[in-house]
Amino acid sequence: MKILALTLGAVLLPLAAVAAEADAGRFQLEKSGDHFVRLDRQTGAMSICQDKDGALVCRMAADERAAYEDELDRLSQRVTKLEQQGLVQRALPSDAEIDRSISIMEKMMKSFMGMVREFQAEEKANPLPQKT
């Protein structure tokens, strides 16, 4: 059991290091005057970062913030539209639709009961031999 645990640890350790390296190379910082510009290499997003009390505080660039707000507005409008459509679609069926559904169910039940009667008639005509 110890061998299995050691082998598993030996295999997973390099994988964790590779994942950490890939994540570490995701961002690139460049000094620009009294602040830094952070580039996300996966998404292309840029942020302005400043050193405040020993911590790096980042905020979106102005053009990205506008694009972000536009996307939020677009999605908000889409959600509102979908919610309104959902309320309309949840309306009760009309009397004609209910009548049609009941008529379909009646036909199905009559057909089913006809099959049961046929099966019972066949059983009476050809009874199974008694084995007891």
Give the residue extent of every domain in the chain.
Answer: 25-59, 61-92
pLDDT tens profile 37-73:
888 888 777 788 888 888 878 877 676 777 788 899 9
Q: What is the pLDDT of residue 18?
A: 45
Q: What is the pLDDT of residue 129?
A: 79
pLDDT tens profile 21-32:
556 788 888 888
Q: How confident is the model at residue 35 (pLDDT cuts 50, 70, 90)?
A: confident
- Is 48 within 8 Å of 35 (Cβ atoms)? yes
| Its pTM surpasses 0.85 | no
Q: What is the pLDDT of residue 96?
A: 94
What gap in Å lies between CA 111 and CA 105, rounded to an integer?
10
For 32, 91, 93, 95, 107, the CA distances from 86, given in Å and listed in that order, are: 50, 9, 15, 21, 32
Sheet holding 46-52, edge to edge: 27-32, 35-40, 46-52, 55-60
